[in-house]
Amino acid sequence: MTDRISISVTVNGATHTADVEPRLLLADFIRENLDLTGTHVGCEHGICGACTILMNGDSVRSCLTLAVQADGAEIETVENLGDAENLGPLQQAFREHHALQCGFCTPGMLMTATDMLRKYPLETDEDIRDGLSGNICRCTGYQHIVDAVRAARDERDAK
Amino acid sequence: MKPAPFDYLRAASLDEAVAALAANTGAKVIAGGQSLVPMLNFRLVDAPLFVDISGIDGLSGISETEDGGIRIGALTRHFDLETSAVIGDRYPVLHEAMKHVAHLAIRNRGTIGGSLSHADPAAELPAMAVLLDAEIVAKGPGGERRIMARDFFEAPLTTKLAPDEIVTAVELPSLPAGTGWGFEELAQRRGDFAVAGVAALVADGNARIAVFGAHDMPLRATKAEQAFGSDGIDAAVAALRAEIDPSDDLHGSADYRRHLAGVLCKRALQSAMNRAGA
């Protein structure tokens, strides 16, 4: 049996300490230990993007990160973007453009788009599609997701 | 799936990491984990101990070397390479290649040392290392050694690294003035591994050509380079198709890859020739 390791992780502003197995994935720590089930686990090998979160401000696959590697990190999950009564701007854009059907991929899309909007100009739809290419939507509603991210880009650029 | 149990050590120094690898048979290095953790999740890789080097100071960053080249620390993240002004200025072919490396969330975590150590034959960075005549710096119990990229890759996912050696940096010699470049890749989606890719440099009528995704290793296509120098672009394409040994998979047959690599080679060489001497 391997030794558990003590970690301290700040998630959505609250600091949590826990003793975890080294093999515990950050996605499972977030979902199972912290009950933050907005972060979804799809493929568990970095292809689908559903588990994307922000770690120290950068989008990260939480299924490709060990919880022990997040020791000392600041994590943001989809729960931090807003809630049902107070949607964040990107969530509002998704709502207005019908950018979700079943919603399984949505948390990963939102976290990925949050990082894309911070890091890239996203001048064209092709840029937006390239940026979203690491997130799979099984309902294949990509057009509306692109529409929502474009609207969020326009809102960003108007400021 | 979930990884099998393992022990984990967050190394505070390179010496501690090397000592831990030397003292624990089967121990492996983890840094960004973007190639390793998928294999752990599939249980394709198993080790009693993973030594995390990502907290070690001094292993990341891009700096100029005394002989005019560039040194890239092993822990430099793909996103930092992608957005580096000095890389964009000095090695535009590498700047272009970085746009094709996986997706933003993976580029935020993945490291150049990890990509080279993992040695995926369809990945961009190993091909860039052989194209740019990179020297890979590794540290083990016996000290530091340097390995030319063209000697570093032995087989798919296999390098010359000893089990207790860690890549610490990659050094790129400067390119001749007026070097033109071309980079061509076909992937199923932007950011996926290449079905095939070819990068080329042209200076003073001589070409360097590197192939990925269409051979069992990142390949410097030296026969195609010679053919280019003596007989031009079409001869280079023909030589390249004879030189590579692609394999079949669900994305394409070996014959398709051989054809595709030739098409991409021609485009990459044309771009490089058009940009050369500017």
Pair (B210, B123) in one structural domain: no
Chain A interface mutation, best of B82, B108, B192, highest count of A Cβ atoms under 10 Å? B108
User: Does residue B151 sit in the same domain as residue B186?
Assistant: no
DSSP lists the bridge partners of residue B144 as B139
Chain B residues in contact with A4 (beta carbon < 8 A): none
Looking at chain B, which residue has its C-alpha nearest residue A50?
B105
Whether B58 is in a domain gets the answer no
Q: Is B251 on the interface with A (CB under 8 A)?
A: no
Q: Is A22 on the interface with B (CB under 8 A)?
A: yes
A87 lies within 8 A of chain B by CB: no
> Can you give the residue ranges of every domain in chain A?
5-80, 89-158
Query: Could you tell me if residue B74 is inside a domain?
Result: yes
User: Into how many domains does chain B fold?
Assistant: 2
Mean pLDDT of B253-265: 98
Same domain (yes/no): B112, B185: no
What are the contacts of B52-55 at 24+ separation with CB within 8 A?
B52/A68, B52/A69, B52/B8, B52/B9, B52/B10, B52/B11, B53/B11, B53/B14, B53/B17, B53/B29, B53/B166, B54/A69, B54/B30, B54/B111, B55/B10, B55/B11, B55/B12
d(CA A144, CA B186): 26
**What gap in Å lies between CA B45 and CA B76, rounded to an integer?**
24
Is there a contact between A22 and A70 (Cβ–Cβ < 8 Å)?
no
Cα separation of A76 and B74, whole Å?
Answer: 27
pLDDT by residue (tens digit) across B184-243?
999 998 888 899 999 999 999 999 999 999 999 999 999 999 999 999 999 999 999 999
Same domain, B37 and B129: yes
Separation in Å, CA of A87 to nearest CA in chain B: 23
Q: What is the mean pLDDT of residues A128-133?
A: 96
Residue B142 and residue B42 share a domain? yes
Q: Does A130 touch chain B (CB under 8 A)?
A: yes
Instruction: Tell me whether residues A68 and B8 touch, CB distance under 8 A.
Output: yes
Asked whether residue B5 is domain-assigned, the answer is yes
The pLDDT mean for chain A works out to 96
Report the chain A residue with the minimal C-alpha distance to residue B100. Answer: A130
What's the DSSP call for residue A100? Answer: -
Indicate yes or no: CB of A61 within 8 angstroms of CB of B109: yes
Whether A1 has a pLDDT exceeding 70, the answer reads no
Residue B65 is predicted with a pLDDT of 94
Separation CA B269–CA B237 (nearest Å) = 9
State pTM to two decimals: 0.96
Structural domain includes residue B93: yes
Query: What integer pLDDT is reported at residue A131 of this predicted model?
Result: 96
Interface test mutation site (partner A, options B10, B30, B37, max chain A beta carbons within 10 A): B37
Provide mean pLDDT across the span A90-119.
97
State what percent of residues in chain B have pLDDT above 70: 100
Q: Note whether B155 and B197 are same-domain residues.
A: no
Q: Which domain holds residue B239?
A: 180-275
Shared domain check, B30 and B9: yes
Measure Cα distances from B208 to A28, A33, B192 in Å. 46, 52, 24
Residues B148 and B249 in one domain: no
CATH code, B161: 3.30.465.10
> From the CA of A97, how many Å to the nearest CA of chain B?
24
- Contact between B186 and B264 (Cβ < 8 Å): yes
| pLDDT given for residue B190 in this prediction | 87
Domain A89-158 has CATH 3.30.300.30: no
Contact B108, A53 (CB under 8 A): no
- Give yes or no: residues B211 and B157 share one domain: no
Same domain? B9 vs B132: yes
pLDDT value for A87: 97
| Residue whose tokens read 């826990």 | A18
B172 burial class (0-12, 13-18, 19+ CB within 10 angstroms)?
Answer: buried
Partner-chain residue, chosen from B7, B33, B192, that has the shortest CB–CB distance to A64:
B33
Q: What percent of chain B has pLDDT over 90?
A: 96
CB contact under 8 A, A66 and B189: no
Q: CA-CA distance, A111 to A61, in Å (whole number)?
A: 10
Nearest CB partner across the interface for A131, out of B2, B4, B104 = B104
**Closest chain A residue to B192, measured at CA:** A134
Class of domain A5-80: alpha beta
Nearest to A133 among B37, B42, B191 (CB): B191
What distance in Å separates the CA atoms of residue B113 and residue A68, rounded to the nearest whole number?
A: 21
Domain boundary among B175, B207, B227: B175
Beta bridge partner(s), residue A58: A55
> How many angstroms separate the CA atoms of B73 and A147, rounded?
39
| Complex-level ipTM | 0.96
Mean pLDDT of A16-38: 98
- φ and ψ at residue A103, rounded to 5 degrees: 90, 0
Same domain assignment for residues B169 and B184: no
CATH number at residue B233: 3.30.390.50
Same domain flag for B190 and B143: no
Confidence band, pLDDT 50/70/90 cuts, at residue A140: confident
Instruction: Choose the final residue of a domain: B175, B202, B232.
Output: B175
Predicted confidence band at B278 (pLDDT cuts at 50, 70, 90)? low
Distance from CA of A95 to the nearest CA of B (A): 24
Helices (H) and strands (E) in chain A, counts: 5, 5
Take residue A3 and report the two structure tokens written for it.
Answer: 């030794």
* pLDDT, mean of residues B143-154: 97
Domain boundary among the residues B150, B175, B200 is at B175
Q: Mean per-residue pLDDT for A36-54?
A: 97
The predicted pLDDT at position A141 comes to 82
pLDDT tens sequence across B1-15: 899 999 999 999 999
